[in-house]
Amino acid sequence: MSQVTMTVNGKEMSGDAEGRTLLSQFLRETLGLTGTHVGCDTSQCGACVVHVDGVAVKACTMLAMEAEGSSVDTIEGQAAPDGTLNALQQAFQDHHGLQCGFCTPGMIMSAADLLKKNPQPTEAEVRHHLEGNICRCTGYHNIVKAILAASGQDVSSIAAE
Amino acid sequence: MPKDSGIGASPKRREDVRFLSGTGNYTDDIQVNGQAYVHFLRSDIAHAKINGINLDAASAMPGVIKIFTGADFEGVGGIPCGWQVTDRHGEPMQEPAHPVLAQGKVRYVGDQIAAVVAETLEQARDAAEAIEVDLEELPAVVDMKAALADGATKVHDDLTSNLCYDWGFVEENKPAVDAAFEAAAHVTTLELRNNRLVANPMEPRVAIGDFNRATGDSTLYTTSQNPHVIRLLMGAFVLGIPEHKLRVVAPDVGGGFGTKIFHYAEEAFCTFAAKALNRAVKWTSTRSEAFISDAHGRDHVTKIELALDADNNFTALRTDTYANMGAYLSTFAPSVPTWLHGTLMAGNYRTPLIYVNVKAVFTNTVPVDAYRGAGRPEATFQLERVVDKAARELGVDPIALRRQNFITEFPYATPVAVEYDTGDYHGTMDALENMADLSGFEARRKASEARGKLRGFGVNCYIEACGIAPSNLVGQLGARAGLYESATVRVNATGGLVVMTGSHSHGQGHETSFPQVIAEMIGIDESMVEIVHGDTANTPMGMGTYGSRSLAVGGSAMVRATEKIIAKAKKIAAHLMEAADADIELKDGAFSVAGTDKSVAWGDVTLAAYVPHNYPLEDIEPGLEETAFYDPANFTYPSGAYACEVEVDPDTGKVTIEAFNAADDFGNIVNPMIVDGQVHGGIGQGIGQALLENAAYDENGQLLSASYMDYAMPRASDVPFYGVDHSSQTPCTHNPLGVKGCGEAGAIGSPPAVINAVVDALRSGGHDIHHIDMPVSPSRVWQAMNG
């Protein structure tokens, strides 16, 4: 066991980790930030996407120790301190972009990364970007619509949510 | 003008806020003080005799608390099956024992051999590596027809064969059906497979057992669609714990799709071990583990025949299906290929004579049970494929042939035991034709051809029996449970309400939609209503959520309880206004006396119920809380028409979905946004089944597609935006809301549309192809085109 320290959602946090402890596991079990979800063990589902030093990362593909000294942003840090949802979160609610909610943290973190790099993506670009995020509930319809809406595009011609 | 509250409105979902901000409470988020962790050692061989298990080295590993094997469960009950099917000769199905941990033999890759409980999960996993198991490999039974051959290796040595049951439905109709085929002007025959699927809710299963030695109470936290069912099955049949000493909690659950209905061995193990060790025991499935331990779905091999007269009227239907049960009977497995499948074979059509034969077969594979639609997608797929094939053979338009044979008068008693109350199949087909722009198809096909692609259009209809169902009926059919639902409505002194429902929400949005109903009934704001579900300690005994039953059955129970509340509140209001009970009207959250300007607010009445100073104590009790159990009179019968447009790349065989439109009739709709979302999700899963997904076993019983590296889940880039239309509404006649189930329709209605479209595309390219089995992967399509 070694102590690992990182800045999570703007706050310095420390905990013990084995060499084999994954960042996803460290966030959930050691730091108690259970918003980051684990939906697979082959780095396919994307439920665990977080941002490490501003870059979207599947937290199951990284050891906790690799994040030593890094700045990590998780779903818990996305809303304003008073709980007000950010624009992307709000678009997901407005357009029914989630059902069971399990893939949602990864979807939000992944979509935030897309919009940072590509503020006005096309539908095809959104769908391509989400290839690493699996949702079983929505058929993706309202997720794609919500992301397009969050980018400021008019989604009124897309079938109702 | 759309409503902004009550029935028919689409308020934003209140549960979304916690899910979007990372503050949901899923089972794996729960940490019980002092919890230990269990790792299951699972068989990597499909069929083997257990000659011995040596735990010496493993038990000495760091952190190990105890290692359990089948021997620790001698005298403990097995995992029960909740449905007994009677075969065509009147005999009960063969029902094997299903121990919590394997005893004597392992019967599928994934079968639990031992359970290591340790201080940490890593220690439990490390120790499992050190267990020495002496397995004597036996021939694996994988193919269903081979499993039924004379001399086949038996999965269960104490059963007479691998045949679970041979079911005929309706047996007495068989001679008449056979005679109709003899007399037919045309017979269309199709053999097909409904591919085995893995449900794959994004949240893997989790179970935490806890035990309080001081009180003797056990608690199970589990990822379940029906915590009361788990409490009953596990308490009464496996561990012998009475309900009042066992609490089952299913908090936020990350999707179910059927596979979280069933009672699993891991739940019983964690509850058992917590008591044995006097500390909480937690199990979290990995995804790879889920592939070999969650009940699978579908896996039917079918021959279907349709008889038509000279005017193209359907005269008879005959099917012969082999249904894979896997190695053990999962909770509702026997009901899926029988009562949830045979009863649907009439579909939307006036076929007067139907005979269904189903042989359920044990194999050395993961148990198979209900997956979204459960039997109804299997019925719809074969029926809608054979109708399409018949249309092509006869040279008639597939839509016209369907329309010609539609049921148009309701109620309609089918020859397969169910009675449809309402429907308008021409109405949904009209809506579909409007959406799908049929007249523009030839131009789109030409445009595709100009780009070197083949384009196809496929249509199909579906009927579903859901909202399962009258208890006395399902009891006659073999269910070992009642299928009512419950609700307790508790009104607080200041007027807010809490509804404690036996339904369970794992993505369906009950916390938002159920309050809409109460708000409409009382005329108060939805924010005054809170929904509690998922905990046996604070909800009445209820059967949970599956089979598209929550609103039709659970919502009806809530309506009945609320009606009792309103009746009592009217008596209080009558007393307060010194009027007769019969003169009291409730509107917009206020009680008034008919024909007067006297009025008293909802909150004044609720306060009087709890502060009964001026109160008719001689007539009624204080307080305002009512419970109702609702047992439906019939299933509900949603129906619809779906259309898919595909492009096929003739060079690679790759199929892309260019358009998908769905017109459904769900009767009255409480929350259109949520209903649309349910259809979207079902279509996504149906496209997944048609194009991508396949749980493939090799001849040795190894699951070849046992992770997301090999099992192709649909991704965002595999699907288009969908068109949905719910304007055709024929309300259900027998539940108080007039609603029909909407949860499974998308998954039932979409696979045949995709395959019909692919066949249409290939035929337009000159390929004489009538069928390709799902999933229509590029290699299968290419092979079909290139012989």
Q: Which of A9, A100, A127, A144 to mutate to test the interface with B (most CBs of B within 10 A)?
A: A100
> How confident is the model over B161-179, as a mean pLDDT?
97
pLDDT over 80 (residue B469): no
Our measurement of the distance from residue B560's CA atom to the centroid of its chain's CA atoms, rounded to an integer in Å, reads: 25
Cβ contact A89–B723 (<8 Å): no
Q: Which of B437, B656, B719, B721 to mutate to test the interface with A (most CBs of A within 10 A)?
A: B721
Q: Residue B687: closest CA among chain A residues belongs to which residue?
A: A139
Paired sense of beta strands B217-222 and B412-413, if any: unpaired
Residue B1 pLDDT: 54
Residues of chain A with C-beta less than 8 angstroms from the C-beta of B683: 139
Q: Give the Cα separation of B655 and B758 in Å (integer).
A: 8
Q: Does domain A2-77 have CATH number 3.90.320.10?
A: no
Give the tokens for residue B246.
Answer: 């066992």
pLDDT band at B474 (very low <50, low <70, confident <90, very high): confident
B510-522 vs B556-576: helix crossing angle, rounded to 10:
30
Q: Which burial class, exposed, middle or buried, applies to A113 when counting CB atoms under 10 A from its CB (0-12, 13-18, 19+)?
A: middle
pLDDT over 80 (residue B751): yes
Note whether A75 contacts B: Cβ–Cβ < 8 A: yes
Q: Residue B746: closest CA among chain A residues belongs to which residue?
A: A139
Q: Give the Cα separation of B501 and B540 in Å (integer).
A: 7
Contacts A–B by Cβ distance under 8 A: 200
pLDDT digits (tens, 9 = 90+) for B275-291: 999 999 999 999 999 99
Cβ contact B708–A145 (<8 Å): no
Cβ contact A140–B18 (<8 Å): no
Note whether A112 contacts B: Cβ–Cβ < 8 A: no
161 residues of chain A, pLDDT tens digit each: 899 999 999 999 999 999 999 999 999 999 999 999 999 999 999 999 999 999 999 999 999 999 999 999 999 999 999 999 999 999 999 999 999 999 999 999 999 999 999 999 999 999 999 999 999 999 999 999 999 999 999 999 886 54
Instruction: Just give the CATH number of B296-469+634-785.
Output: 3.30.365.10
Residues of chain A with C-beta less than 8 angstroms from the C-beta of B709: 42, 44
Question: What is the share, in percent, of chain B residues with pLDDT greater than 90?
Answer: 97
Helix (H, G, I), strand (E, B) or coil at B566: helix
Q: How many residues does chain B have?
A: 787
pLDDT over 80 (residue B722): yes
**How many C-alpha atoms does B617 have within 13 Å on its Cβ side?**
6
Q: Does domain B27-138+202-255+260-291 have CATH number 3.90.1150.10?
A: no
Helix (H, G, I), strand (E, B) or coil at B338: coil
Q: Give the Cα separation of B377 and B23 in Å (integer).
A: 35
Give the start-to-end residue ranges of the domains of chain B. 27-138+202-255+260-291, 296-469+634-785, 484-630
Residue range(s) of every CATH 1.10.150.120 domain in chain A: 87-150
Residues of chain B with C-beta less than 8 angstroms from the C-beta of A103: 202
Task: Output DSSP code: residue B333.
Answer: G
Question: What is the share, in percent, of chain B residues with pLDDT greater than 70?
Answer: 100
Q: How far is B504 from chain A (nearest CA, A)?
A: 12
Cβ contact A139–B680 (<8 Å): yes
Q: How far is A67 from chain B (nearest CA, A)?
A: 21
Residues of chain A with C-beta less than 8 angstroms from the C-beta of B676: 96, 159-161
Note whether A125 contacts B: Cβ–Cβ < 8 A: no
Q: Residue A98: closest CA among chain B residues belongs to which residue?
A: B16
Residues of chain B with C-beta less than 8 angstroms from the C-beta of A105: 22
Q: Give the Cα separation of B472 and B25 in Å (integer).
A: 37
Residue B690 pLDDT: 98
Which residue among B21, B28, B719 sits closest to A139, beta carbon to beta carbon? Answer: B719
Mean pLDDT of chain B: 97
> End-to-end alpha-carbon separation of chain B, Å?
56
Cβ contact A96–B724 (<8 Å): no
Please, what sign has the CA dihedral across residues B65, B67, B73, B78? positive
Give the tokens for residue B482.
Answer: 């009642």
Residues of chain A with C-beta less than 8 angstroms from the C-beta of B662: none
Residues of chain A with C-beta less than 8 angstroms from the C-beta of B707: 40-42, 44
Sheet of B639-648: strands edge to edge? B454-463, B639-648, B655-665, B722-725
Q: Which of B12, B17, B21 to mutate to test the interface with A (most CBs of A within 10 A)?
A: B21
Residue A44 pLDDT: 97
Residues of chain A with C-beta less than 8 angstroms from the C-beta of B508: 99
Q: How far is A69 from chain B (nearest CA, A)?
A: 23
> Which residues make Cβ contacts (< 8 Å) with residue B108, sequence separation at least 6?
B43, B46, B47, B292, B326, B327, B364, B365, B366, B367, B701
* Residue B322 phi, psi (nearest 5): -105, 125
Residue B2 pLDDT: 67
A residues 44-63 closer than 8 Å to B (CB): 44-45, 47
Nearest Cα neighbor of B276 from B207, B209, B205 is B209
Q: How far is B430 from chain A (nearest CA, A)?
A: 18
Q: Give the Cα separation of B258 and B520 in Å (integer).
A: 31
Please, what sign has the CA dihedral across residues B268, B271, B274, B279? positive
Evaluate whether B505 touches B19 at the Cβ level (below 8 Å).
Answer: no
Q: How far is B398 from chain A (nearest CA, A)?
A: 27
A87-150 folds as: DNA polymerase; domain 1 (1.10.150)
Q: Give the Cα separation of B408 and B102 in Å (integer).
A: 53
Q: How far is A44 from chain B (nearest CA, A)?
A: 6
Q: Which of A127, A140, A156 to mutate to test the interface with B (most CBs of B within 10 A)?
A: A140
pLDDT digits (tens, 9 = 90+) for B348-400: 999 999 999 999 999 999 999 999 999 999 999 999 999 999 999 999 999 99
Our measurement of the distance from residue B216's CA atom to the centroid of its chain's CA atoms, rounded to an integer in Å, reads: 34
A residues 139-158 closer than 8 Å to B (CB): 139-145, 158
Residues of chain B with C-beta less than 8 angstroms from the C-beta of A124: 717
pLDDT over 80 (residue B199): yes
- pTM as predicted: 0.97
Cβ contact B673–A99 (<8 Å): no
Note whether A122 contacts B: Cβ–Cβ < 8 A: no
Our measurement of the distance from residue B275's CA atom to the centroid of its chain's CA atoms, rounded to an integer in Å, reads: 32
DSSP H or E run through B41: strand B36-42
Angle CA B113–B118–B122, to nearest 5: 90
Residue A161 pLDDT: 44
Residue B481 pLDDT: 85
Cβ contact A100–B16 (<8 Å): no
pLDDT band at B527 (very low <50, low <70, confident <90, very high): very high
Residues of chain A with C-beta less than 8 angstroms from the C-beta of B510: none
Least confident of B130-134, B544-548, B654-658, B749-753: B544-548
3-state SS track over B346-398: CCCECCCEEEEEEEEEECCCCCECCCCCCCHHHHHHHHHHHHHHHHHHHCCCH
Which residue among A29, A39, A126 sits closest to B202, beta carbon to beta carbon? Answer: A39
Which residue among B16, B28, B257 sits closest to A136, beta carbon to beta carbon? Answer: B257
Instruction: Just give the CATH number of B484-630.
Output: 3.30.365.10
pLDDT digits (tens, 9 = 90+) for B324-339: 999 999 999 999 999 9
Cβ contact B715–A134 (<8 Å): yes
Cβ contact A101–B674 (<8 Å): no
Q: Give the Cα separation of B83 and B233 in Å (integer).
A: 12
> Which residues make Cβ contacts (< 8 Å) with residue B99, sequence separation at least 6?
B70, B73, B78, B79, B265
Residues of chain A with C-beta less than 8 angstroms from the C-beta of B20: 75, 78-79, 85, 89, 92-93, 98, 101, 104, 108
Note whether A76 contacts B: Cβ–Cβ < 8 A: yes
Q: Residue B11: closest CA among chain A residues belongs to which residue?
A: A94
Q: Residue A40: closest CA among chain B residues belongs to which residue?
A: B287
Residues of chain A with C-beta less than 8 angstroms from the C-beta of B723: 159
Is the bond leading into B411 cis (omega within 30 degrees of zero)? yes
ipTM of this predicted structure: 0.98
Residues of chain B with C-beta less than 8 angstroms from the C-beta of A141: 677, 680, 684, 719, 721-722
> How confident is the model over B416-422, as a mean pLDDT?
95
Which residue among B13, B122, B286 sits closest to A18, beta carbon to beta carbon? Answer: B122
Cβ contact B22–A33 (<8 Å): yes
Residues of chain B with C-beta less than 8 angstroms from the C-beta of A19: none
Cβ contact B20–A141 (<8 Å): no
